Amino acid sequence: MPFAVEITQTGKPDVLRETDKATPTPDAGEILIRNKAGAVNFIDTIIRRGEMPEGMMPDLPHTPGVEGAGLVEVLGKGVEGFSVGDRVAWMGPIGAGGYGTHSVIAAPYVTRLAETVDF
Q: Is the dihedral of CA 104, 39, 100, 6 positive or negative?
A: negative
pTM (2 d.p.)? 0.94
Domains of the chain listed by start with CATH number: 3-112 (3.90.180.10)
* pLDDT tens, per residue, the chain with 119 residues: 789 999 999 999 999 999 999 999 999 999 999 999 999 999 999 999 999 999 999 999 999 999 999 999 999 999 999 999 999 999 999 999 999 999 999 999 999 999 999 99
Q: Is the bond leading into 61 cis (omega within 30 degrees of zero)?
A: yes
